[in-house]
Structure 1
């Protein structure tokens, strides 16, 4: 792993993957995405790993895409390919993924929860889907999955207005299993990951496959369609202006 992503065995059969740029609130740049893909791929290939625990360092999940890095990519004419590769990796892994969220879960920090099997957040965690406010568009299959779990009206509110929302709203919208006391999300996530790791692994994997079977094809298609629009928006005048304004703060 590179330093922006850490992977370690924290219990029998449980690999913890930690987004590790606390000085940037774990904002994800291209190196971070590459590290996440590597960690997920390694866990998937290791038969001794039965569950993955996903979290962020410094009491923060992730503040989303590193805007400076994305602006540089857009200026160079590059699309968000590595981010899409990460989303495809987390959406298709056979092993269960448990997310533990504290602090901020912004943008892809929220949409990736739609692909985690279980998710827990501290009571003061803050979520946001600021794609429209940045001149962008939804990603990660969220335009399909969020209406599916939250309902059309709530999904439109969260995706179109792009306003911050609290952990209770995230749970109500189907992004979380439970809201737990501040500072205990990792503890709760680890307990659930250990419980999953103790179960017959082939049965767990089969159950996950069956749960996702009805939506897997359309999720993959939606991720691809969203990625095309997102890449175009990334190079748009609206996005460039929004990035410039953000970087001046």
Structure 2
């Protein structure tokens, strides 16, 4: 298993990307496991909030492209991102270290996201050959369009402060404290009315149809020409 599933306290589920030897890059099976874990939560009323994080001092170094260039594996990534968008359970990201490509895209589809102060982000889609995948183009809806273009077209690295200003993060915390902040938020959500949280999330995400269209439009990784 490349995903570790834990319930640190009642109602809180933590999904940890557990491939530290690969810098937590997401391969076909990891995408599948994450999607299944998220989809199963909505069928379990005892789980009130989900936290997604990465093993060690990093979130994810993006997709493991070798698994996708010559096969249909990108559909697994689409399935995961659709699961994030469709979930009625609050989803909270806790990121540290590096967050690359689809790892950044995932933050757009989470309800909350916390990052350690020295976390570094990048969206190198154009540089690597693929277009902005998984609805990453929706970054222009949370950041000024010129800033989104700079992040997506140039793929330059940027820090947690800029990610927060761009609307990717709920809050920047001290290094090593992102998971703690995420679990605290999950515990706050647990104490609220489950029905009210679900309805409110649906209202906040009422444009999810457009988001799903953007995810489905993504052609996925391809080779340089």
Task: Give the TM-score normalised by the residue count of structure 1.
Answer: 0.88
Which 4+ residue blocks in structure 1 deviate beyond 3 angstroms?
Answer: none
CA RMSD of aligned residues (A): 1.1
Q: 1:52 aligns with which of 50, 57, 65?
A: 50
Match status 1:38 vs 2:40: no
Give a deviation string over 1:121-161, Cα, whole Å, max 9, x none.
Answer: 00011111010000110112121x20110110010000000
Structure 1 gap ranges (5+): 239-249
> SS at the partner of 2:176?
coil
Q: From 60, 70, 77, give the equivalent of 1:75.
A: 70
1:219 is matched with which residue? Answer: 211
Distance apart, 1:79 and its partner CA: 5.2
Following TM superposition, by how much is the alpha carbon of 1:43 offset from its aligned partner in structure 2, in angstroms? 1.4
Partners of 1:80 and 1:171 lie apart in 2 by 28
CA distance in 2, matches of 1:94, 1:167: 27
1:164 aligns with 2:157: yes
SS at the partner of 1:95? coil
Q: Structure 1 residue 126 and structure 2 residue 124: aligned?
A: no
- Work out which of the residue numbers 179, 198, 210 in structure 1 matches 2:203: 210
Give the Cα–Cα distance (whole angstroms) in 1 for the partners of residues 49 and 10 of structure 2: 9
> How far apart in 2 are the matches of 1:199 and 1:237?
49
Q: Deviations over 1:139-196 (max 9, x none)?
A: 12121x2011011001000000011111001001000011100011011111001111
Rg larger in structure: 1
Q: Compute the TM-score of the two structures, normalised by the length of structure 2.
A: 0.97
Q: Show the counterpart of 1:243.
A: none
Report matched runs for 1:135-174 at 5 Å.
135-143=129-137, 145-174=138-167
Post-superposition offset of 1:68: 2.5
1:105 to 2:109 alignment: no
User: For this pair of structures, how many residues does the alignment match?
Assistant: 225
For 1:92, the equivalent position in structure 2 comes to 86
Q: By percentage of residues, which structure has more helix?
A: 1
